[in-house]
Amino acid sequence: MGKVLSPWSKQATIAMIEMDMTVSELADKIGRTREYTSAVVNGRVYAESAVKAISDVLNIPETARSLRGN
């Protein structure tokens, strides 16, 4: 079984699907690489500034509890 996504990661993924946005498009909007953006969205990397930027673009809440809640 694969890694369980945090609630924030799930919200980010759902928002990207609803907006028909690829990781590459999201990365362009936040000024980061596709690889780094993917790592943040999938919970492999945590950087508060990146999470905030992604949350702002996707219009999803950014909360400490949802970021760390596995």
Model pLDDT for residues 23-70, shown as the tens digit of each residue? 999 999 999 999 999 999 999 999 999 999 999 999 999 875 444 444
* Mean pLDDT calculated for residue range 15-22: 98
Whether 3 has a pLDDT exceeding 90, the answer reads no
* Mean pLDDT calculated for residue range 2-13: 90
| The length of the chain, given as a count of residues | 70
pTM metric for this prediction: 0.85
Place of tokens 């694969």: 2
CB 7 within 8 A of CB 15: no
- Going by the DSSP 8-state scheme, the letter that residue 12 receives in this structure is H
